[in-house]
Amino acid sequence: MSERMFQIAHALQMATTPYAVIMSAWVDRIQDRFFNPTNHLTKLSPEELTAWLLEEEDKIKQWAPEDAETADKREDAAIGYNDLGIKLYEAKRFEESEVVLNKALELFQADFGDDHEYVASVLMNQGILNQARQEYTTAESLLNRALEIYTAQSQESGEDASYDVLDALELLADLYRETGREEEAAALEAEFRTEVSSV
């Protein structure tokens, strides 16, 4: 099945599926993407983690130096740091995750500007990280900025919505519920339902 046919089939399924089932499936998708409790890094001592982190950073620098002359190589470095940040987040190594996600963000912003989808992806990861640290104001700001970028890109491309927009909406709704802002969460979930019907 082609990617486009898969998207159409998925949209039809979403349109005919009860909302509660949709929300449950979406939360599972986001959790699978951002958190894996079997991550081997959770079993490392601080010294072992430091050694692993240095080794991973060396791999990124050898494969794609940050000061590479070609944009493709710098992009590869940024992707490497973003992926490394997610792994560290999964291991609940939040401080180390923040450092490498900041590196990814700086590289993406330098090559693509502040409004690119790659930038939004890192901002969303940073938002999830800050929510896990209970730094809710920062998390909300990051997730809202990611949502702005994804929404603007969907509008520019002529799409009604994108899966990235839906992810950002659901993450913000989850943040609002975690902080007791039920009315705002419900409003975002209503927007989520509207967007799902247009995907």
Confidence of residue 190 (pLDDT cuts 50, 70, 90): confident
The mean pLDDT value for 181-186 works out to 92
> Secondary structure of 36-70 in the HEC alphabet?
CCCCHHHHCCHHHHHHHHHHHHHHHHHHCCCCCCC
What is residue 21's predicted lDDT score, i.e. its pLDDT? 42
In the predicted structure, residue 155 carries a pLDDT above the cut 90: no
So where are the chain's domains? 19-196
In the predicted structure, residue 146 carries a pLDDT above the cut 90: yes
Give the sign of the dihedral formed by CA 23, CA 25, CA 26, CA 31. positive
CB 159 within 8 A of CB 150: no
SS3 116: coil
Q: Please list, in sequence order, all residues whose beta carbon lies within 8 angstroms of the beta carbon of residue 103, skipping any fewer than 6 positions away.
A: 66, 78, 81
Q: What percent of the chain clears pLDDT 70, i.e. is strictly above it?
A: 66
Q: What is the maximum span of the chain, computed from C-alpha positions, in angstroms?
A: 51
pLDDT digits 0-9 by tens, 93-138 = 899 899 999 999 998 998 899 999 999 999 999 999 999 999 999 9
CB 68 within 8 A of CB 77: yes
* Distance between CA atoms of residues 186 and 141, nearest Å: 19
* Residue 142: burial class (beta carbons within 10 Å; 0-12, 13-18, 19+): buried
The CATH code belonging to domain 19-196 is 1.25.40.10
Mean pLDDT of the chain: 76
Take residue 43 and report the two structure tokens written for it.
């079993």
pLDDT digits 0-9 by tens, 29-60 = 444 444 444 456 667 677 776 777 777 777 76
CB atoms near residue 45 (< 10 Å): 8
Rounded to two decimals, the pTM is 0.70
* Distance between CA atoms of residues 110 and 195, nearest Å: 31
